[in-house]
Amino acid sequence: MNIYHGSDVVVEKPKILQSNRLLDFGIGFYTTSNVEQAIRWAEKVSLRNNSGNKFLSMYQFDIEKAKKELRIIEFTYTDEKWLDFITANRRGKEIAEEYDIVIGPVADDNVYLTVKLFETGVLDKEETIKRLKIVKLFNQILFHTDKSLKFCVFEDYRDLGGKSNG
């Protein structure tokens, strides 16, 4: 399976980096099988870091082999289980630690407000899930352990443009 990582640097050797932000699936190396999603991530990272650089790193991921050797949880839909999982991680509970890889829908900008309304108690779980089901979400694949990174094999990168380094 082809997977992608968007950033302001080329990532030939993915690492598990600590983040000061609370993310959907916890700490790790985030990828996606959707090129457009990865390009949007590169644009966001470039803006956040004010670097002006945007790169798409491309990898091969042998998911079938990984399923035989690693602890993987996969969410197919934005259901109650997914919502509980991302809410716990965003609150700093790090329940992703039980898994080497987490796969599931991205709580991107389109759904961030809905999830935030749930987290603050404005929406109940039933209404939140109902609203999320109408949004087309791309996937994200989190490599959570060093062991899992062996299944994320760098192939190439694409310079998405940006400011000149010279």
Q: Is residue 70 part of a domain?
A: yes
Tell me the per-residue pLDDT of 112-124, one tens digit each, with 9 for 90 and over: 778 888 888 999 9
Q: Is residue 118 part of a domain?
A: yes
pLDDT over 80 (residue 36): yes
The whole-angstrom separation of Cα 52 and Cα 39 is: 13
Q: Is residue 81 part of a domain?
A: yes
Tell me the per-residue pLDDT of 79-96, one tens digit each, with 9 for 90 and over: 889 888 888 887 777 665
Q: Is residue 49 part of a domain?
A: no
Q: Is residue 163 part of a domain?
A: no
Q: 164: pLDDT confidence band, cut at 50, 70 and 90?
A: very low
Q: Is residue 159 part of a domain?
A: no
Q: Is residue 68 part of a domain?
A: yes
Q: 109: pLDDT confidence band, cut at 50, 70 and 90?
A: low
Number of domains in the chain: 1
3 membership: H or E segment, kind and range: strand 2-7
Structure tokens at 105: 């829908």
Residue 157: phi and psi, rounded to 5, are: -145, 165
For β-strands 152-162 and 53-61, DSSP reports them as antiparallel
Angular region, 92: left φ>0, alpha ψ -120 to 50, beta rest = left
Q: Is residue 90 part of a domain?
A: yes
User: Average pLDDT, stretch 144-155?
Assistant: 96
Structural domain containing residue 99: 9-34+64-150
Tell me the per-residue pLDDT of 37-65, one tens digit each, with 9 for 90 and over: 999 999 999 999 999 999 999 999 999 99
